[in-house]
Chain A
Amino acid sequence: MQRRPAAFNANAAEALLDADLQAALGAAQAGFGVKRRKAIEGLPEFEALCDQAAAIKDHVLDHLDVYLERFETQVFASGGMVHWCEDAEQARQIIVKLCRSVNAKMVTKGKSMVAEEIGLNPFLEANGIRPVETDLGEYIIQLADEPPSHIIGPALHKTRDQVSDLFHAHHRALGFAERQTEGEALVGEARAILRQQYLQADVGITGANFLIAETGSTVIVTNEGNGDMTQIFPRMHIVIASIEKIVPTLEDAATLLRVLARSATGQEMSVYTTFSTGPKRKADADGPEQFHVVLLDNGRSELLGGNQRDILRCIRCGACMNNCPVYMAAGGHAYGATYMGPMGSVLTPNLTGLERAQALPFASTFCGKCEAVCPMRIPLPKLMRDLRTEAHATRITPVRERLWLALWSWVSLRPELYHRLSGMGLAVLKLLARGRGRFHWLPLAGGWTRTRDFPAPQGESFMAQWARRGKPKA
Chain B
Amino acid sequence: MPPVNPNIALFVTCLVDLFRPSAAFAAVRLLEDAGCAVKVPDTQTCCGQPAYNSGDKTSAGRLAAQTIRLLMDYDYVVVPSGSCAAMIKRHYPQFLAGDAALAAQARTLAAKTFELTQFLHDVMHYKPAARAGDTLTYHDACSGLRELGVQAQPRALLSGGVIENDDGETCCGFGGTFCVKYTGVSTAIADKKLDRFSATGATAVTGGDLGCLMHLAGRAARRGLPLQFRHVAEILAGDVSAPAIAEPEK
A, B assembled together: yes
Residue positions of A touching B, CB distance < 8 A: 8-9, 12-13, 16, 33, 325-326, 329-330, 362-369, 372, 385, 387-393, 397, 401-402, 405-406, 408-413, 415-416, 418-419, 422, 426, 435-438, 440, 445, 447-448, 450-463, 465-467, 471-474
A409 touches B215 (CB 8 A): no
What total of A-B pairs shows CB separation below 8 Å? 225
Most chain A beta carbons < 10 A, residue from B56, B147, B189, B192: B56
Known: A372-B146, A409-B51. A330 touches B16 (CB 8 A): no
Which residues of chain B in 37-66 are interfacial with respect to chain A, using CB atoms and an 8 Å cutoff?
39-46, 48, 50-57, 59-60, 62-63, 66
CA distance A379 to B37 in the complex (A): 39
CB distance from B23 to the nearest CB of A (A): 8
Chain A residues in 8 Å Cβ range of B53: 366, 385, 388
* B96 close to A (CB within 8 Å): no
Q: Are B45 and A366 in contact (CB under 8 A)?
A: no
Contact status B45-A472, CB under 8 Å: no
Chain A contact residues: over half helix, strand or loop, or mixed?
A: helix
Identify which of A366, A448, A459 contacts B142 (C-beta below 8 A): A366
CB distance from A429 to the nearest CB of B (A): 9
Q: Are B179 and A330 in contact (CB under 8 A)?
A: no
Q: Residue of B at shortest CB range from A467?
A: B42
CA distance A339 to B176 in the complex (A): 25
- Residues of chain A within 8 A of B62, CB atoms compared: 409, 413
Q: 1/0 contact trace for B160-191 toward A, CB 8 Å?
A: 00000001011101111111111111111110
Whole-angstrom distance from the CB of B31 to the nearest CB of chain A?
13
Residue of B nearest to A392 (CB): B55
Q: How far is the CB of B125 from chain A (nearest CB, A)?
A: 26
Give B contacts to A, CB under 8 Å: 9, 12, 14, 16-22, 24-25, 39-46, 48, 50-57, 59-60, 62-63, 66, 142-143, 146-147, 167, 169-171, 173-190, 192, 214-215, 217-219, 221-222, 242-243, 245-249
Verify A474–B214 contact, CB threshold 8 A.
no
Q: Which listed residue (A326, A368, A436, A471) contacts B146, Cβ 8 A? A: A368
The residue from A12, A369, A405, A447 contacting B171, defined by CB atoms under 8 A apart = A369
Task: Say whether B21 contacts A459, CB under 8 Å.
Answer: yes
Taken together as a complex, chains A and B put the C-alpha atoms of A126 and B174 apart, in Å, by 46
For the complex, what is the distance from the CA of A468 to the CA of B146, rounded to whole Å? 37
A12 touches B185 (CB 8 A): yes
CA distance A409 to B176 in the complex (A): 15
Residues from chain A with Cβ under 8 Å of B45 in the complex: 411-413, 415, 418-419
Contact A462 B184 (CB under 8 A): no
A448 & B218 in contact (Cβ 8 Å cutoff): yes
Jot down 7 A-B pairs with beta carbons below 8 A, ordered by A: A16-B188, A365-B173, A369-B171, A416-B43, A435-B249, A451-B219, A466-B42
In the complex, residue of chain B having the shortest beta-carbon distance to the beta carbon of A393: B55
Q: Which of A325, A451, A466 contacts B184 (CB 8 A)?
A: A451
Docked CA distance A309–B175 (Å)? 25
Given A367-B146, A447-B181, A463-B42, A438–B170 Cβ distance below 8 Å?
A: no
Which of B9, B52, B142, B242 lies in contact with A458, CB distance below 8 A? B242
In the assembled complex, which residues on chain B have CB atoms less than 8 Å from the CB atom of A406?
Answer: 56, 59
Q: Which residues of A contact B42 (CB under 8 A)?
A: 415, 463, 466-467, 473-474
* Chain A residue contacts of B221, Cβ below 8 A: 438, 452-453
- Asked if residues A405 and B44 are in contact (CB atoms below 8 Å), the reply is no
Contact status B55-A458, CB under 8 Å: no
Kindly name the residue among B18, B51, B66, B146 whose own CB sees the greatest number of chain A CB atoms within 10 A: B18
B57 touches A413 (CB 8 A): no
CA distance A76 to B14 in the complex (A): 64
Distance of A68 Cα from B99 Cα, bound (Å): 38
Q: Is the CB of A364 within 8 A of B59?
A: no
Name the one of B41, B54, B217, B243 contacting A401, with C-beta atoms under 8 angstroms: B54
Would B215 and A452 count as touching, CB distance under 8 A?
A: yes
Asked if B55 and A452 sit within 8 Å, CB to CB, the answer is: no
CA distance A8 to B174 in the complex (A): 18
